[in-house]
Amino acid sequence: MSDEQDLAFETLLNYLKQSWRIDFTGYKRPTLMRLMKKRMQRVEIGSYSDYQDYLEANSVEVDYLLDALLLNVTTFFRDPQAWEYIANEIVPRILEAKPNNELIRVWSAGCASGEEAYTIAIILAEALGEEEFRRRVKIYATDLDEEAVAHGRLATYSSRELRDVPDELINKYFDQSKTVCTFRSDLRRDVIFGRHNLVQDPPISRLDLLICRNTLMYFNAETQARVLARFHFALNDTGFLFVGKAEMLLTYTNLFTPFKLKYRIFAKLPKGKLRDRLLAIADAANTEVGHH
């Protein structure tokens, strides 16, 4: 990639940020460039600066570009073994930490069309029973992509989209028409969809489980670190963070500790522990210089 092309690309990102309030500057360049090139080929444009001119002249193109850059690919029970582990090992721990029928709060961040949010809804309804689920569970499902969020809120999926859900669970949790299935409305009330930008917006807080899968990987290290610091704040001390199969928390290892690395499930390191550790280090340093 030539410097000139890099420069034209950065100019285009700044244009999107300033004119459209779409900020992709914290995203990894190779992925972004690959996705944008694909879209440019569709409209037969070769250079980033020509594409910027095209965007300036055709505002609808901005929507197409957004669609191309935000990959909404998702499925129910994506990585089934990891979800099995969540159902068998993590959910019981979450319930144990809440002996007094307290609320259970979950956030599916970067939820795309909602499959992940309904997956955890099914798991929690199976664990608690429907009545207790309705009483105690709040699941927040957010994404930057408005259309995806609208799809999730509608909760309507084709049988193809439901292919990874066992029949017995489809029958139990979905209303079925000839062509589509819709997640039951009485349970859907506790799954709340909204538009939320992980890079800019304050997090949803007091969480027991934060699911953010196959989304952090689009961010550069600095942005990931910023988002992870917010996630740390957003979780209860006994909370868990569940990320995608191919994702590692390279930055901020002092905020989370692997709970089941194979399935990318992390436990929050409570602030107290972190503070204790820092104090211990400070103490040791003070002792050395004779302040004690």
Write out the residues near ligand SAM by the rule CB under 6 A. 70-74, 78, 110-112, 116, 143-145, 148, 197-199, 213-215, 218, 244
Report in angstroms how near the CB of residue 256 gets to ligand SAM at its nearest.
18
Closer residue to ligand SAM (CB): 146 or 283 = 146
Residue 200 beta carbon to ligand SAM: minimum distance, rounded to whole angstroms: 7
Q: Which two three-digit tokens encode residue 78? A: 């994506």
Nearer to ligand SAM, 45 or 111 (CB): 111
- Min CB(166)–ligand SAM separation in Å: 18
Alpha-carbon span 197 to 287, nearest angstrom: 46
The residue of the chain with the least Cβ separation from ligand SAM equals 74
Q: Answer yes or no: are the C-beta atoms of 193 and 166 closer than 8 Å.
A: no
Cβ closest to ligand SAM, residue 14 vs residue 49: 14
Q: Minimal distance in Å, beta carbon 191 to ligand SAM? A: 14
Closest CB to ligand SAM among residues 11, 220? 220
Q: How many CB atoms lie within 10 A of CB 185?
A: 9
What stretches of 107-245 show up as alpha helix (H) in DSSP? 115-128, 130-136, 146-154, 167-173, 185-188, 221-234
CB contact burial 80-114 (16+ within 10 A = b; e otherwise): eebbebbbeebbeebbeeeeeeeebbbbbbbbbbb
95 versus 154: smaller Cβ distance to ligand SAM = 154
Min separation Cβ 100 and ligand SAM, Å: 31
